[in-house]
Structure 1
Amino acid sequence: MALITIRNLAVTLGAPLFSQLDLAVSPGDRIGIVAANGRGKSTLLRCVAGMLEPMTGDITRSRGLRIGYVEQIIPQALSETPFHEAVRQALPDDQAETEAWRVDVILDSLDVPPALRQLPIAKLSGGWQRLALLACVSVTDPDVLLLDEPTNHLDLGKILGLEAWLGSLPRDIPVLISSHDRAFLDATTNRTLFLRAERSRLFSLPYSLARNALDEIDASDERRYQKDMKAAQQLRRQAAKLNNIGINSGSDLLTVKTKQMRQRAERLEEAARPGFQERSSGAIRLASRGTHAKVLVTLDDTPVETPDGRLLFKTGKRWICQGDRIVLLGRNGAGKSRLIHLIRTAITEPDRCAATIKPTPSLALGYSDQALAGLADRETPLATIIRRFDVGDQRARTLLAGAGLGIDLQSRPIGILSGGQKSRLAMLVLRLTNPNFYLLDEPTNHLDIEGQEALESELMVQQTSCLVVSHDRSFVRAVGNRFWLIENRHLVEVDDPGDFFASARES
């Protein structure tokens, strides 16, 4: 029996997000919700949670159903509240005193270190803030759990821990998950909803299998669309010929026949509209200028240290060569971002460069950090492009529109853009920099699946040379042709990331 039934649901915000959506949520369902940035995933979850009224349609919930909704953003009221106290406050009033022990049970199940439990939520890392929201909701024992981008800001260890935690929930508790993490969806879901403006698709399959099925349907729709459009064009050509004959002969009958044929063509074209051709979130394009150097960066047993001088690891003798797409693997805090920082400094500020890092003089660097710190919150996207690059106002606007930032967004402060919009702006900046070597620290943060796949394709098509840090397992496997692992204070090369992923799951 369905716990939640959705019938003919529709929401329009400027443009239709989804329409005529039907969905039944039953015990045991683990439903992945997939759509591009800004295409209605959070809106749908808010509708299911009862926080937003849809424009049309109905949502029926079982009597007394408790829905737990884990949002993306920490409520301001919780920012100064200690972790443990925030979870305790989430308990109903009649349980706060007698069942406070449940707080420690849920924090233990999420492997929250004791030292973090007394810190204010605002002092926690982004990953722990996400888990704090999850703890506040799950301690209330909801009958249905809604998760909005639960892996955002989580490192690989925490993502795998979250997968295990979801797997340990009672099997009859339905979970709806909005996520762009393909591997996470494969590990945690058994149904997949592809949310679309006109015709959403639901499959009783995890993401990758569902995506294959969707691609087959879309390909079939595309073939049918092309066939119908060809037939409509033939009707229009025949109508034009008939119209000329009718004019020359003065036949009213031929004029009527001409009108009927044109109407048939219009109906065929309207019915043939391919619902799978969704509006893009914006194109991602990269560039790669040439270099004759075969070896781009040489590491000569470079020590990688914390800011206070504690040794994290040594690199040994390593080379980054033209065409290498190296993925840097290691546990959180192992020093991945520190090595990225050292190489970046060696390229951009050679006077401050350690003697053990030798970049070739012809390097042109493209750099993106996980916080997108290179984008100023108070500056507008338009001002950013015009200030950094020799392009005029009109060209800058065209480039921004192609990246998914329409006229209405181009003159707004970057700080109010969504994470996905900021990421696409950062990718545009990288492209216009026209580098021949990329340093990318968590480049898929906030990118939807369409954006991730576009970035993967560009890195390979452009034959870029890059050093990448990423916790996205699908992205790592798709992009990397070499893998460096930080292990036991040394940097070692491995053939495949699989063993590292397995060890992260077991720890």
Structure 2
Amino acid sequence: MALISLKNLGVTMSAPLFSNLNLVISAGDRLGIVAANGRGKSTLLRCLAGALDPTTGDITRTRGLRVGHVEQAVSAALLERSFHQAVADALPPDQADHELWRVDVVLDSLDVPEAMRERPVRALSGGWQRLALIARVWVTDPDVLLLDEPTNHLDLAKIGQLESWLNALPRDVPVVVASHDRAFLDATTNRTLFLRPEQSAVFSLPYSRARQALDEVDASAERKFQRDMKVAQQLRRQAAKLNNIGINSGSDLLTVKTKQLNQRAERLEDAALPAHRERSSGAIKLANRGTHAKVLITLDDVSVETPDGTPLFRTGKRVICQGDRIVLLGRNGVGKSRFVELIRRAIAEPETVAQPVKVTPSVVLGYSDQALSGMRADDTPLAMLSRKFEVGDQRARSLLAGAGVSIEMQERRIGALSGGQVARLMMLALRLANPNFYLLDEPTNHLDIDGQEALEAELLAHQASCVLASHDRSFIRAVGNRFWLVEKRKLTEVDSPEAFFRSVAETAG
């Protein structure tokens, strides 16, 4: 049964985000929406929710349909409310007094601990704030659920929990998910919409299989376009020859024939559709200055501790070698980020590290943390680049444009950029630092799928040595060649991340 129908839908801002979109959302659908940063995913969800009118086309909803829309941002009005109150506030006024039990049912289904329920939203982690937004919508008992980047800020355990919760929902409730998390899309969707300015494509497949199908469609379209253009060129060459003969002989018949050939070529050229070319959100390129050292860092049973000195885990004797792409695995709170920070200080501020960490003198660090704190919000991209790397104004502007920071954004505050733009700006800064060792904490946060794949390709192409902490399962599988698991207060090396992924999923289920 069709609950929402889109006919020739289009939205244009400064340029078309999407156009001529025809789509039906029915009971049982689990639809993933995929597009680059800033290309219309959130806009389409707002249209589906009735919060935004499209520029062109029509949306038809079944009468009385309740649409639940989970947006990305937490409103300021919720920050001082407790987790429980924030969810209860979403109940309609006529239910607020006598149906508070709904709140506890939803919070139980999301495994929210009792102590967490009384904390103010402001004091919650980004992951728990995300689950609070989902709970607020689900308590209203919607007929359709719209989720905008639901895995942002979630660790692997909470992502697994969210996957289990979505897969346990009543099958007649359609779920529409806009996400850059490839593994999450594969686990929770059965249809995929690739949103494009023109010719958006829908497949009745989860993301990875849909992506393969899309690549085949695009390749076929490109072959047809090249064939059509080749035929059009041949027709024009024939027309030119006949035209010369006709002029020399004065033949009216050849003149008519020439005109007909040119008209056929024009019709073919007008009808020929080039394959879709994704407009880049900004290139991601890395560098690797290399080193002759085989061993870059040696850890002699290092104790990783909290800022107040509480032990978290011990590393045992470990070495990080050239060409290693080490992924840190472990649940939230075990100390992965503290370990990354310890390595950073051992390289950049060795006098602050009392632990037995030996760093080869030739190591040059490229570092990015979860918060992208190397990018000051009150700085401008142009000033930051010019100051840090002593590149001229024209060169800085060219580099920024290539990284997806447009001319008009280059002298605005970095705080005004989107998360995707700041992430690409950080990647540009890493490239200009020309390191031979990368230390990256959640590097795919804020990157769209094209950006994630570009980062993967660069790390592999440059055979970059790195230590990575990430919750992105697709990224971990693509990049890692060594895996260090932090568990039960110790670090052990494992052959693959899959057993850890399974253990997290089983706990969540």
The TM-score bracket by the shorter chain reads: over 0.9
Moved more, 422-431 or 234-243: 234-243
Q: Is the alpha carbon distance of 1:366 and 1:246 closer, same or farther for their aligned partners in structure 2, counting shifts above 3 Å?
A: farther
Check conservation: 2:322, 2:465, Cα contact below 8 A. yes
Check conservation: 1:194, 1:200, Cα contact below 8 A. yes
Equivalent runs, 1:28-427 vs 2, <5 Å: 28-242=28-242, 261-427=261-427
Give distance in 2, aligned partners of 1:99 and 1:386.
Answer: 59
Deviation at 1:409, TM superposition (A): 1.9
Cα deviation code 1:336-366 (max 9, x no counterpart): 0101000000111122233411111011111
Q: Is the alpha carbon distance of 1:393 and 1:84 closer, same or farther for their aligned partners in structure 2, counting shifts above 3 Å?
A: same
AA at the equivalent of 1:394: Q
Check conservation: 2:438, 2:467, Cα contact below 8 A. yes
Normalising by structure 1, report the TM-score: 0.97
Deviation at 1:197, TM superposition (A): 0.9
Check conservation: 1:197, 1:278, Cα contact below 8 A. no
Deviation at 1:309, TM superposition (A): 1.0
Check conservation: 1:346, 1:354, Cα contact below 8 A. no
AA at the equivalent of 1:170: P
Give distance in 2, aligned partners of 1:398 and 1:370.
Answer: 27
Check conservation: 2:286, 2:458, Cα contact below 8 A. yes
AA at the equivalent of 1:49: A
1:505 aligns with 2:505: yes
Q: Secondary structure at the match of 1:3?
A: strand
Q: Is the alpha carbon distance of 1:266 and 1:398 closer, same or farther for their aligned partners in structure 2, counting shifts above 3 Å?
A: farther
Q: Which residue of 2 aligns with 1:442?
A: 442
Moved more, 400-409 or 425-434: 400-409
Unmatched tracts of structure 1, length 5 or more: none
Check conservation: 2:189, 2:206, Cα contact below 8 A. yes
Check conservation: 2:219, 2:275, Cα contact below 8 A. no
Q: Secondary structure at the match of 1:378?
A: coil
Deviation at 1:234, TM superposition (A): 2.9
Give distance in 1, aligned partners of 2:311 and 2:140.
Answer: 43
Give distance in 2, aligned partners of 1:412 and 1:251.
Answer: 66
Give distance in 2, aligned partners of 1:323 and 1:359.
Answer: 16
Normalising by structure 2, report the TM-score: 0.96
Check conservation: 1:199, 1:275, Cα contact below 8 A. no
Cα deviation code 1:350-403 (max 9, x no counterpart): 222334111110111111111111101122222221111132222212211211
Deviation at 1:265, TM superposition (A): 3.5
AA at the equivalent of 2:287: A
Give distance in 2, aligned partners of 1:296 and 1:358.
Answer: 8
Equivalent runs, 1:447-466 vs 2, <5 Å: 447-466=447-466
Check conservation: 1:6, 1:58, Cα contact below 8 A. yes
Q: Which residue of 2 aligns with 1:482?
A: 482
Deviation at 1:56, TM superposition (A): 0.7
Deviation at 1:51, TM superposition (A): 0.3
Deviation at 1:255, TM superposition (A): 6.1
Check conservation: 1:11, 1:17, Cα contact below 8 A. yes
Deviation at 1:275, TM superposition (A): 4.3
Give distance in 2, aligned partners of 1:78 and 1:262.
Answer: 66
Check conservation: 2:296, 2:321, Cα contact below 8 A. yes
AA at the equivalent of 1:224: K
Q: Secondary structure at the match of 2:373?
A: coil
Deviation at 1:269, TM superposition (A): 3.1
Deviation at 1:208, TM superposition (A): 1.0
Give distance in 2, aligned partners of 1:421 and 1:265.
Answer: 43
Count, aligned residues: 507
Moved more, 3-12 or 241-250: 241-250
AA at the equivalent of 1:207: Y
Deviation at 1:270, TM superposition (A): 3.5
Check conservation: 1:198, 1:275, Cα contact below 8 A. no
Give distance in 2, aligned partners of 1:242 and 1:405.
Answer: 51
Q: Secondary structure at the match of 2:73?
A: coil
Deviation at 1:165, TM superposition (A): 0.6
Q: Secondary structure at the match of 1:90?
A: coil
Check conservation: 2:232, 2:268, Cα contact below 8 A. yes
Deviation at 1:272, TM superposition (A): 2.3
Give distance in 1, aligned partners of 2:447 and 2:479.
Answer: 15
Give distance in 2, aligned partners of 1:242 and 1:297.
Answer: 74
Q: Is the alpha carbon distance of 1:388 and 1:258 closer, same or farther for their aligned partners in structure 2, counting shifts above 3 Å?
A: farther
Unmatched tracts of structure 2, length 5 or more: none
Check conservation: 2:31, 2:177, Cα contact below 8 A. yes
Give distance in 2, aligned partners of 1:376 and 1:505.
Answer: 37
Q: Is the alpha carbon distance of 1:256 and 1:169 closer, same or farther for their aligned partners in structure 2, counting shifts above 3 Å?
A: same
Check conservation: 2:367, 2:440, Cα contact below 8 A. yes
Give distance in 2, aligned partners of 1:460 and 1:281.
Answer: 21
Give distance in 2, aligned partners of 1:398 and 1:314.
Answer: 46
Check conservation: 1:440, 1:468, Cα contact below 8 A. yes
Check conservation: 2:386, 2:396, Cα contact below 8 A. yes
Give distance in 2, aligned partners of 1:413 and 1:241.
Answer: 60
AA at the equivalent of 2:218: D
AA at the equivalent of 1:37: N
Please provide the CA RMSD for this pair: 1.6
Cα deviation code 1:138-187 (max 9, x no counterpart): 00000100000000000000000000111111111000000011110111
Deviation at 1:267, TM superposition (A): 3.6
AA at the equivalent of 1:180: H
Deviation at 1:406, TM superposition (A): 1.7
Deviation at 1:212, TM superposition (A): 1.1
Q: Which residue of 2 aligns with 1:428?
A: 428
Cα deviation code 1:181-227 (max 9, x no counterpart): 11101110111111111101111111111111111111111111222
AA at the equivalent of 1:474: S
Check conservation: 1:380, 1:412, Cα contact below 8 A. yes
